[in-house]
Amino acid sequence: MYHTSYIELDEKAYSRNLSYLKNKFGPDTVFSSVIKGNAYGHGIEHMLPLGEKYGIRHFSVFSADEALKACKVRSEGSEIMIMGMIDDPELEWAVSNGVSFYVFEQGRLEAAAQAARKTGRKARIHIEFETGMYRTGFEKPELKKALDFIYENREHITVEGLCTHYAGAESVSNYLRVKKQIKVFGKLLKVVQQSGVPYGKCHTACSAAAIRYPKTTMDLVRIGIAQYGLWPNRETFMHDVVEKNGNEISENPLQRVISWKSQVMSVKEVPGNRFIGYGSSYLTNDTTIMATVPVGYTHGFNRSLSNLGRVLVNGKRVPVIGLVNMNMMMVDVTQVQGVQKGSRVVIIGTDGGIDLTIGSFAELTNRLNYETLARLPQDIPRYIV
Ligand X SMILES: Cc1ncc(COP(=O)(O)O)c(C=O)c1O
Active site positions, annotated: 36, 278
What span, in angstroms and rounded, lies between the C-alpha atoms of 148 and 150?
5
Contacts (CB under 6 A) with ligand X, residues 132-161: none
| One-letter identity of residue 1 | M
Query: What is the spatial distance between Cα 225 and Cα 151, in angstroms, rounded to a whole number?
Result: 37
Stretch that binds ligand X, among 7-15, 23-31, 107-115, 224-232 (CB under 6 A): 224-232
Q: How far apart are CA 43 and CA 52, in angstroms?
A: 14
Q: How far is the CB of 225 from ligand X (least distance, A)?
A: 4
Q: What 8-state DSSP symbol labels residue 283?
A: B
| Cα gap 206→62, rounded to integer Å | 14
Stretch that binds ligand X, among 19-27, 180-188, 192-200, 225-233 (CB under 6 A): 225-233
Residue among 46, 108, 156, 222 that touches ligand X (CB under 6 A): 222
Decide if residue 309 touches ligand X (CB under 6 A).
Answer: no
- Residue 284 has phi, psi (to 5 degrees) of -70, 140
With CB under 6 A as the rule, give the number of residues binding ligand X.
12
Query: Which residue, 201 or 317, has its beta carbon nearer to ligand X?
Result: 201
* Binding to ligand X in span 168-207, by CB under 6 A: 206-207
| Piece of the chain touching ligand X by CB under 6 A; list 18-26, 41-49, 218-226, 278-286 | 218-226
Least spacing, CB of residue 79 vs ligand X, in Å = 15
* Relative orientation angle of helices 140-152 and 175-195, to the nearest 10 degrees: 30
- What are the backbone dihedrals phi and psi of residue 214, each rounded to the nearest 5 degrees, phi first? -55, -30
Residue closest to ligand X (Cβ): 224
Which CB atom, from 40 or from 361, has the smaller least distance to ligand X? Answer: 40
Does residue 232 bind ligand X (CB under 6 A)?
yes
Mask of contacts with ligand X, 27-56, x by CB under 6 A? -------x----------------------
Q: How far is CA 229 from CA 42, 137, 160, 256, in A?
A: 12, 30, 29, 4
Element (H, E) at 235: helix 234-237
**Site for ligand X, rule CB under 6 A:** 34, 83, 165, 206-208, 222-226, 232
